[in-house]
């Protein structure tokens, strides 16, 4: 149903001649988290910003403005938001496909607040087997709690996918074994991608470059041939991860709304903020971003930018799509040409400016688009 709905949505965009359109609304109603992962670039904000929440109405308005058929609710940890059940219920009533991303620490406790629906899926963060994941989230025992929560959610009839971010040092054999194990757990799908090298992440040493990413996924997918791994991503995006597609970034495909506004240009990079979705789409200098255009994009192969490129390509080259969908990603032969970095513009650093501006707004208690909730009340 989801594939049919997305397919008809994409066809409609093309028929109406829309050049840029969103596929997935990324909704970050808060930055606050109950973990502090070494590779996370989302939680390094002063407490007054971490204490901000998007209201239920602001989340619904973001959906109305954006209109994408799929919504991924991320953060921070969304289950810390006290209004999350209401947000999800109201978005499901609009027949949007919702992926609620969570580290699962609160999942068992909060399961009663949600109802299974074909429109709703838990998306549990699991970066590999027990040792890999607990190292990734910098806390022992998190993997076991997540697996226990997945079992309980599946037993209650929920759809559950996992979100696996991989870092330098990951081994294909181990990753393949992990994919076997999560499929045996009964999850409905795997979403995977390399970690993006957030400039605010405490650990800057374990992000993969493009060549290593492609080799890792190629070697892993080779081990998965003949197995029934189910991914929530387009077959062509997986083929891209394995080094077989030269895609340019489509950052508008997964626009992000958070407590700052609509983030320019993508989920990963906060280079500026627009007040409305229309302003984001019309005023962002899109050509300045993507691998080959901007230094901060050089190693990015994340679904935020490239999943939409793969979906659009599926409509441009349907036979190629069918071939890859039937045979899986190509794991032998030469890789597709890489994009030249020769003319990329240098990185700009504007994090402090955005934080100062937001802090000034909060201090002045100006009327803003977010409401402030004490952290302890939400937790
Ligand atoms: S390549 Fe695209 S998705 Fe990746 S950081 Fe750059 S703009 Fe964002």
Residues 254, 372 share a domain: no
Residues 223, 83 share a domain: yes
Residues 281, 144 share a domain: yes
Give yes or no for residue 300 CB within 6 A of ligand 1.
Answer: yes
Beta strands in the chain (DSSP E): 24-27, 52-53, 70-73, 97-102, 120-125, 159-166, 189-194, 256-258, 261-265, 270-274, 371-372
Q: What CATH code is carried by the domain that includes residue 197?
A: 3.20.20.70
- Å from CA of 291 to ligand 1 middle: 7
Count of structural domains, the chain:
2
Residues 354, 236 share a domain: no
Q: Closest Cα to atom 4, ligand 1: which residue?
A: 300
Give yes or no for residue 302 CB within 6 A of ligand 1.
Answer: yes
Give yes or no for residue 195 CB within 6 A of ligand 1.
Answer: no
- Å from CA of 303 to ligand 1 middle: 9
Give yes or no for residue 291 CB within 6 A of ligand 1.
Answer: yes
Which tens digit of pLDDT belongs to each residue from 18-27?
Answer: 999 999 999 9
Quote the pLDDT of residue 379: 45
Average pLDDT over residues 279-302: 96
- Between CA 321 and CA 319 the distance in angstroms is 5
Q: Given the CA of residue 250, which atom of ligand 1 is nearest to it?
A: 2
- Residue 42: pLDDT band with limits 50, 70, 90: confident
Instruction: Please say if the pLDDT value at position 372 is more than 80.
Output: no
Token pair listed for 141: 């025992």
Average pLDDT over residues 149-173: 96
Instruction: Please say if the pLDDT value at position 371 is more than 80.
Output: no
Mean pLDDT rounded to a whole number for the chain:
94
Give yes or no for residue 284 CB within 6 A of ligand 1.
Answer: no
Residues 366, 253 share a domain: no
Structural domain for 365, as ranges: 349-379
Residues 369, 232 share a domain: no
Instruction: Please say if the pLDDT value at position 377 is more than 50.
Output: no
Beta-carbon contacts of 313 under 8 Å, excluding residues fewer than 6 positions away, are 236, 245, 247, 320, 321
Instruction: Please say if the pLDDT value at position 135 is more than 60.
Output: yes
Residue that is written with structure tokens 């609304």 in the block: 25
Give yes or no for residue 329 CB within 6 A of ligand 1.
Answer: no
Average pLDDT over residues 199-208: 84
Quote the pLDDT of residue 366: 64
Residues 353, 281 share a domain: no
- Residue 378: pLDDT band with limits 50, 70, 90: very low
Ligand 1, from 208, 210, 265, 307: best to mutate by most atoms within 8 Å of Cβ?
265
Residues 283, 358 share a domain: no
List phi, psi (to 5°) of 372: -100, 135
Residues 294, 268 share a domain: yes
Residues 354, 214 share a domain: no
Instruction: Please say if the pLDDT value at position 338 is more than 80.
Output: yes
Q: Closest Cα to atom 1, ligand 1: which residue?
A: 290
Quote the pLDDT of residue 373: 53
Ligand 1, from 251, 270, 284, 306: best to mutate by most atoms within 8 Å of Cβ?
251
Q: Given the CA of residue 289, which atom of ligand 1 is nearest to it?
A: 7
Average pLDDT over residues 169-198: 95
Beta-carbon contacts of 262 under 8 Å, excluding residues fewer than 6 positions away, are 255, 256, 273, 274, 275, 276, 277, 279, 280
Give yes or no for residue 255 CB within 6 A of ligand 1.
Answer: no
CB 213 within 8 A of CB 168: no
Give yes or no for residue 243 CB within 6 A of ligand 1.
Answer: no
Residues 309, 357 share a domain: no
Give yes or no for residue 289 CB within 6 A of ligand 1.
Answer: yes
Instruction: Please say if the pLDDT value at position 52 is more than 50.
Output: yes
Average pLDDT over residues 44-69: 96
Give yes or no for residue 91 CB within 6 A of ligand 1.
Answer: no
Residues 169, 180 share a domain: yes
């Amino acid at each position: 149903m989801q594939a049919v709905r997305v397919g008809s949505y994409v066809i409609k965009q093309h028929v109406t001649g829309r050049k840029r359109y969103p596929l997935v609304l990324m909704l970050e109603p808060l930055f606050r988290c109950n973990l502090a992962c070494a590779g996370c670039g989302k939680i390094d904000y002063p407490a007054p910003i971490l204490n901000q929440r998007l209201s239920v109405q602001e989340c619904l308005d973001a959906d109305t403005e954006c209109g994408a058929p799929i919504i991924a609710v991320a953060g921070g940890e969304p289950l810390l938001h006290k209004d999350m059940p209401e947000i999800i219920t109201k978005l499901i009533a609009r027949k949007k496909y919702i992926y609620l991303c969570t580290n699962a620490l609160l999942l068992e406790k909060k399961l009663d607040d949600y109802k299974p629906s074909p429109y709703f899926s838990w998306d549990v963060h699991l970066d590999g087997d027990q040792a890999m994941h607990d190292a990734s989230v910098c806390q022992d025992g998190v993997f076991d709690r997540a697996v226990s929560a997945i079992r309980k959610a599946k037993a209650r009839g929920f759809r559950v996918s996992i979100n696996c971010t991989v870092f330098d040092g990951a081994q294909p054999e181990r990753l393949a074994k992990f994919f076997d194990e999560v499929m045996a757990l009964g999850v409905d799908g795997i979403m995977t991608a390399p970690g993006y090298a957030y400039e605010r992440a405490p650990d800057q040493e374990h992000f993969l470059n493009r060549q290593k990413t492609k080799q890792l996924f190629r070697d892993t997918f080779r081990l998965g041939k003949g197995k029934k791994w189910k991914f929530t991503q387009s077959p062509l995006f997986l083929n891209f991860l394995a080094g077989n597609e030269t895609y340019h970034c489509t950052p508008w495909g997964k626009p992000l709304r958070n407590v700052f506004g609509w983030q320019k240009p993508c989920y990963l990079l906060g280079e500026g903020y627009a007040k409305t979705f229309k302003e984001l789409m019309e005023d962002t200098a899109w050509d300045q971003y993507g691998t080959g255009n901007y230094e901060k994009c050089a190693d990015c192969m994340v679904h935020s930018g490239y999943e939409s490129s793969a979906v659009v390509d599926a409509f441009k080259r349907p036979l190629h799509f069918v071939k890859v969908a039937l045979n899986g990603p190509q794991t032998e032969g030469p890789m597709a040409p890489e994009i030249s970095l020769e003319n990329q513009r240098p990185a700009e650093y504007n994090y402090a400016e955005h934080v100062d501006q937001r802090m000034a707004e909060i201090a002045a208690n100006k009327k803003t688009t977010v409401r402030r909730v004490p952290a302890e009340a939400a937790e």
